[in-house]
Amino acid sequence: MAVYLICYVISFVLAGQHLYMLSGLVLIGSALWLYWSDYERTGNLIHLRGLFCLFFVGGQGISCFKLSALQTDWSFMTWLSLGLAVVSFWVVFEVLTRLYDGWSAADMGSVYRFFSSADSPLQAKRILKAMAVITAVSYLAFFFEAWKLGFIPMFSYGVPHAYSYFHVTGVHYFTVSCVLVPSFGVVYGVMASRRGRGLTRDRGFWLVLVLSALSLAVPLLCVSRFQLILAVGMAVITFISMSGSLQARIVFILAAAMIPAYIGLTVLRSHSVEYLNGIFEIKNPNMPIFITQPYMYIANNYDNFNCLVEQLPAHTFGLKMLFPLWALTGLKFLMPSLVNFPLYVTKEELTTLTLFYDSYYDFGVFGVVLLGALLGAACYLLVRCRRKLTCPAGHVVYAQIAMYMILSFFTTWFSNPATWLYLAVTLIVYFYVNA
């Protein structure tokens, strides 16, 4: 943590001198150091604190490059808030680790041995049933939305933002619940492989492939790059969590499949390069779109946070982060004032935010520190509980939280109703499989 604090101060000073590239590189270096420190101590590639520090601090470093004209110098309060978010998360996790126990490389090995001997045919059958139910519900919801709205985004080429309009309130949550299916498919596959019969000889293996393919087809039909990334990302993390490693050839195969899919979905969104460059306002007009687009999806989020810090007239004292409650109970329709708050962003088309946007909206710096501390405690407890899991489906819960830590630069996950729906469905499957 001392290394991070020193690097953070240096980055702040360099940014004040308009040495943006150096400022960003210093932060990226500190992010790599924090991740490596947790990995070296634990042997865990997907250590939750390490992932959070790598991607949130690293994302801030990328944002410091200031490649877009939309980006401005951040206020001191922005720097303070973002720094305290990391410090509170890291310190709470560390305190709990020292008070109780952390993990070592030997602990990790015992986890993998435990799961190698704990696979149950009954649990495997129940995972198959759960996958089938989730896929069926997802498709029923998808077909209802298509019937109700009268179109399918994939087949609406030439209509910008068709993917945004494909949304029936309350129903779309169930449509996208299919993102959980590939992760459960990985759980089944690992369990089957450990029985020593060979995957292709397992009767359920081909059903897993079909259900996983059907579930991935939904994000493609919805032209949702994010849902596709979330589904594949959780599946990969689930595999690492159960096996302890990830082979290079698997990474290559995934990259070979995901890159064309991502590009294809981008094309199907009917956004021209000229349109996107006009929105992004990149300072270097010659910079290719395959660099500028991911850059803005990461970098602008921190500038949106800065807009909030500089422009927010009054805090909402919990109303923003309680949005899932207002949405899932229907209270937002009865009392629109509960959710009717403006969004402070650099440009109305760029609405992605950091994990701590709503916490600052509610309580300012205190809210950021509080959320960081709560997440640090929750991640520690999840890491600790994972050591004593009796049901392999629990790895999917871990994978979800890991993805939220990886994408902590992207949005306010825990004030998003879909997040809690995913967790609820996963926990239901967990208790069903473990019963």
| Model pLDDT for residues 305-350, shown as the tens digit of each residue | 999 999 999 999 989 999 988 888 888 888 888 888 999 999 888 8
Q: Which of 198, 179, 207, 137 is nearest to 396 (CA)?
A: 179
Residue 245 and residue 45 in contact, taking contact as beta carbons nearer than 8 Å: yes
Q: Residues in the chain, how many?
A: 435
As a whole number, the mean pLDDT across the chain is 85
Q: What count of Cα atoms within 13 Å lies in the side-chain half-sphere of residue 81?
A: 28
- Spatial distance between the Cα atoms of 43 and 39, rounded to a whole number of angstroms: 5
Cα distances from 275 to residues 271, 280, 289, 354, 396, in angstroms, run 6, 9, 11, 24, 38
Give the range of the structural domain holding residue 416, as residue numbers without chain letter: 118-273+385-434
Identify whether 283 is part of a domain: no
Q: Can you read off the two tokens belonging to residue 44? A: 């865990």
The pLDDT of 156-161, averaged and rounded, is 61
Displacement of CA 432 from its chain's centroid (Å): 25
Tens digit of pLDDT for each residue in 39-65?
998 888 899 999 999 999 999 999 999
Write the CB contacts of 125 (distance below 8 Å, at least 6 apart in sequence).
204
Identify whether 244 is part of a domain: yes
pLDDT of 420 reads 92
Angle between helix 121-149 and helix 181-194 axes, rounded to 10 deg: 160
Q: Can you read off the two tokens belonging to residue 265? A: 């979905």
- Spatial distance between the Cα atoms of 409 and 347, rounded to a whole number of angstroms: 17
Residue 149 has pLDDT above 70, yes or no: yes
Identify whether 36 is part of a domain: no
Cα distances from 18 to residues 24, 74, 149, 321, 339, in angstroms, run 11, 11, 49, 34, 38
Residue 350 and residue 304 in contact, taking contact as beta carbons nearer than 8 Å: yes
Write the CB contacts of 252 (distance below 8 Å, at least 6 apart in sequence).
none
- Spatial distance between the Cα atoms of 361 and 363, rounded to a whole number of angstroms: 6
pLDDT of 331 reads 85
The residue type at 68: S
At residue 74, the 3 state secondary structure works out as coil
Q: Rounded to two decimals, what is the model's pTM?
A: 0.89
The pLDDT of 283-302, averaged and rounded, is 84
pLDDT of 116 reads 39
The pLDDT of 383-392, averaged and rounded, is 79
Identify whether 47 is part of a domain: no
Cα distances from 69 to residues 19, 31, 232, 280, 300, in angstroms, run 16, 25, 33, 8, 11
The pLDDT of 125-132, averaged and rounded, is 92
Range of lowest pLDDT (187-191, 268-272, 313-317, 372-376): 268-272
**For the purposes of burial, counting CB atoms within 10 Å of the CB of 302, is it exposed (0-12), middle (13-18) or buried (19 or more)?**
buried
Give residue 34's pLDDT band: very low, low, confident or very high (50, 70, 90): very high
- Spatial distance between the Cα atoms of 262 and 28, rounded to a whole number of angstroms: 25
Identify whether 279 is part of a domain: no
Identify whether 68 is part of a domain: no
Give residue 121's pLDDT band: very low, low, confident or very high (50, 70, 90): confident
Q: Name the residue with higher pLDDT: 268 or 358.
A: 358
Identify whether 299 is part of a domain: no
Identify whether 28 is part of a domain: no
Domain count, the chain: 1
